Chain A
């Protein structure tokens, strides 16, 4: 049945090739140099079909579009921010004041926003990093094989909960639960600056402490997912070698998985940091605003870049005062850009993760 078809095809496809071979062979000896380059050129530039050209153009255009888009984000934010920065009556980087109600007298500085943003992110990272490491190890090394996938799905579910729901939960449910603990910390460890009595009412729960915990929960899935992916690529040979040497489970992890995945874990944590820096709604809902300056306590209130912008967003009407918030957004953009770029470059330096 198949024989005639099979016999026909090689013959059919072989013919033109054979013909070319024959044609090429005689030209070579007759005119050694000029015709030979011509022949391959003629066969190497195939006719490009218009459909191909259009499709290729569309695909490449989309690639260019995304590159241009990031440039445009930076560019437009800068264009909008510059006039307001020019009108600013205080130093943008070192002032703690933020008053844009009178467009004729703009006074805005980002120092407090920057500090609160960083402190919340660091608190979140300190909580999330060890837990995410534990979960990644659990999912790749410890969990029963047939349960690892469902367990991973459960952790991914955390990422599916909208941040506004986390915010509402943090303010209405977690805040009151944390209050006795916070109060105890303030009373007994208040002499340490980070546990000092803050500038907002602790009873309402709208502190950096609460916000940091909620943001930690929110960045947990991303850190876990990336770390897990790297841990999964630990060469089986390494693991089996360690087992053959009589290592316990923990020694296997410590001598093979952790050294192999360390860079990936650091990179994953940087990605988590990027998320934490830009987290908007949960922080906006939880954090109590205050006009008092940030005092390095976990029980302070205040605002992050993102929450400050989100709070003021509905009243963006004057381009000059909106420009002040856009300048803050620009700083946030640069911050997350740098953090994400570092995270990516760490992974890019490790070919074994590919």
Chain B
């Protein structure tokens, strides 16, 4: 004690603000570098993949024929032709899948948010939606194969592909719709009930329109996801190099199927078709993603 008092330069308490020690600063700097590095590392494959697709596919899709013609009557090594048949297949299979999935998905979300509460069924449904999100696309395809083709005896068709895509799309629609319905303020529902409007009409006329922009955004993103799926088309449809408008019968091409098919074609024509189809698919998916953004901006509920 006396020594303490004897030293006049020593403070009673250490200074409030001490410099950060070198070791801590080095650790901090190291962590910051790693974290930034992780982000940059993830950008590399994205840029690389997109660059590859654009560089190899862009010259192919500049040709007007690409969008207007199919590969009908062309030999594997003959250049030319287009992907019109495959684009049609991809869009129609996605569309049919959407028409089936959207009502089911929205109704499940309505059940979870408006009716389910904390009941056992509600918990089971939430759990199963989570599980369905994780079901590999090939398993979904096999399931549709066992039911639709083996059990009911139908042939391979584009419609079977749509059914398999439904399994992959429904959970995405449920998730986004559920999130959107949850953030609709309860005051709106209560105001509607107070006016004597039945619950179902409240949901249809008040809750859904309020959440509409978010729901549509989710649907567009879900569509973008399922149209890139390849496993279901591989199991459930056969490839045709020509246009087939019939959903229920005959082979129908789609962009992923065209790519897997042309992979067996070692000629320059095959190379062009693979990457042309790849960039077309990426473009379609980008388009749907953009649509999602546009819809969410345009239809967002007015806050003022």
Contact = CB atoms under 8 A, between A and B. Distances in A.
Binding between chains A and B? yes
Interface residues of B, number: 92
B199 A55 contact: yes
A133 interface: yes
A250 interface: yes
Contacts of A341: 127, 131
B198 A51 contact: yes
Given A80-B146, A134-B38, A306-B231, 9 more contacts: A56-B199, A63-B125, A70-B131, A135-B39, A165-B53, A165-B278, A168-B259, A173-B48, A333-B136
A146 interface: no
A27 B122 CA distance: 41
Interface in A279-325: 279-281, 285, 305-306, 309-310, 313-314, 316, 319, 322, 325
Interface stretch (B25-33, B66-74, B75-83, B295-303): B25-33
Given A77-B143, A161-B282, A278 B200 contact: no
A233 to B, nearest CB: 15
A143 B45 CA distance: 20
A280 B138 contact: yes
B108 A336 contact: no
Which among B24, B37, B124, B231 has the highest number of chain A CB atoms within 10 Å?
B231
A54 B200 contact: yes
B269 interface: no
Interface stretch (A87-95, A186-194, A269-277): A269-277
Given A66-B132, A173-B48, A220 B42 contact: yes
A298 to B, nearest CB: 19
B38 A130 contact: yes
A66 B108 contact: yes
B35 A67 contact: no
Contact of B34 (A134, A173, A313): A134
B130 interface: yes
Interface stretch (A34-42, A150-158, A198-206): A150-158
Interface stretch (B4-12, B112-120, B184-192, B241-249): B112-120
Contacts of B150: 80, 319, 322
Contact of B110 (A49, A59, A70, A79): A59
Interface string A163-178: 1111011001110000
A281 B231 contact: yes
Given A65-B104, A164-B228, A344-B130, A310 B48 contact: no
A118 interface: no
A339 interface: yes
B278 A168 contact: yes
Nearest to A60: B111
Contacts of B204: 55
Which among B27, B134, B224 has the highest number of chain A CB atoms within 10 Å?
B134
A184 interface: no
B38 A131 contact: yes
Contact of B28 (A69, A133, A249, A329): A249
A253 interface: yes
Contacts of B41: 131
A251 B45 contact: no
A248 B282 CA distance: 43
A329 B142 contact: yes
Given A51-B200, A76-B147, A169-B52, A280 B230 contact: yes
Contacts of A353: none
Nearest to A326: B142
Contacts of B124: 67
A24 interface: no
A137 B35 contact: yes
